[in-house]
Structure formats: structure tokens, C-alpha cells
Amino acid sequence: REMVRYNIDVNQLDGLYVGGSTGENFMLGTAEKKRVFEIAMDEAKGSDIDLIAQVGSPNLHEAKELAKFVTELGYKTISAVTPFYYNFNFDEIKHYYDEIVKDVDTKLVVYSIPALTGVALSLDNFAKLFENEKIIGVKYTNADFYLLERLRERFPDKLILSGFDEMLLPALALDVDGAIGSTFNINAKKAKAEIAAFEAGDIAKARQLQHESNDLITDLLNNGIYATLKLVFEELGVHAGYTREPMAKATPEVKAGAKRIYEKYFK
């Protein structure tokens, strides 16, 4: 609850992507996922913040159950990671998405993250997915900027949200509609300033802000990003808990590194 409140009240984010990688979603049970969705919705009531519920799972039955659950909670948009591990073919992937949205009155954003799922959707693959009117866009966590440019050109009315924090500036240059990122939990103000600078035509300032963010991202990655994000939250006065096994608990060295990151960038 404190992390959600911090993102709403302090970071003043436009939206929250609930149940993503940073939330360690793929190590949670179904009941735990539902509780996370409930808490985020409860804390967001009365605010203007948009919520996207990531319900994807290699278990299609779970994904459909979660899609129904969050729709009844009041989520207007859901998302689903491409099914992974079994090297599904595209017909199977398309069936997965069509099934998730079939029985719910909601819109879906495809979560494309090839580096972690091994699923690289092509331009024609996206075209076939977008034939389903309920599939409105993509969370594009992919370093293939040629494909991103082709997507934007071919689908000007689809929602494209950049998923790589360290590549926000080039994504903005290709006219994405926004960005979703792990480090925005603690670095949202700088990311928002970068977007504002880009939109104002101040590319030099936007580039400098991206450089500063990438310094932070490099330090977070080198210290172990999941544990360190939580530890920096703690330094900010937000009780963020600890990473779930099989992720390792933070060692004294990781804790010390997180404190240095806090003092360097946020104190």
C-alpha cells in the first residue's frame, strides 16, 4: 500500500502497471496476485490514476480467471505477457490473447518482452493480434527500434508504451504514447521531466536527463535491481519488504550499495 501511495502522491504518476516484472508477479500464486490487484485498486480510488492489470501467465486458465477478477474490480485495461517457456507458435499465442479477452468487457495491451520470454513478435504478428478490437496496443520492452518505428507507422491509432527506462529518449523520438518502467517507482520525476523537455523541443535537456537516469539505472543494475529498488524505497520512508525466493535476500553489501545510491541520487 505504501508503494502505491508513494507513486500516486509523491511521484504523481499517470498510471500504474500492476502485476508486472517489478512486482515479482511470476513468483506469486493466484490468490496473492488477486490481493495485489485489490490493494492497488483500493488505494487508487478517488484519484485520476489509470491502472493496467497484468494478468498474463503460461496457465491460460489462470490468466482468464484473473482477467475476469480484475474487470469485476473495476480495471478498464488489462495486459498479458506473451506465453513463455514452451516455445509456442504464433497461432497458439494469438489464441491465448483472444481467449483472455473473449469473455470480459475490457481492453488488452500486449506485453512484449522478447529478452525474457523468447517470443519476438513480428510486424505482421502484431497486425493479426490487432484484428481483435479489444487488443488496443503494446507494452514494448524491446530494443528493436526499427520494429518500433514500423509499428508506429503502420498502427498510428494503437497505444504504444515504451518498456525500457534506459531507452526512453529514442522511444519518444519514435512517437510512443508513454512509458512503463521499473525504475520509475523511484525516478518518476526525472522521467517526467525528460518527457516534458522532449515535448518542448529541448532535446539537449532531454538528453542530459536521460544520461542522469542511465547513471542511476547502471548503479541499480550493478547492485541488483529488484532488491535495490526496495531498499531505496526504505530509505525514502516507504516499507517495501524484500525480494521473494528464489531471489536472494539482500546481503550487507547490497544494503550498503543501496544506501549509497539513495545518498547519491535522492538525498
d(CA 128, CA 140): 17
Catalytic residue among 6, 17, 111, 140: 111
Active site residue 111: yes
Q: Which of 99, 58, 49 is nearest to 77 (CA)?
A: 49
Catalytic residue among 33, 64, 107, 139: 139
d(CA 241, CA 234): 8
Q: Which of 165, 120, 146 is nearest to 20 (CA)?
A: 165
CB-based burial label for 50 (10 Å; 0-12, 13-18, 19+): middle
Residue 81: C-alpha distances to residues 132, 186, 196, 209 (Å): 17, 24, 29, 29
- Residue 37, all three cell numbers: 490487484
Annotated catalytic residues are 111, 139
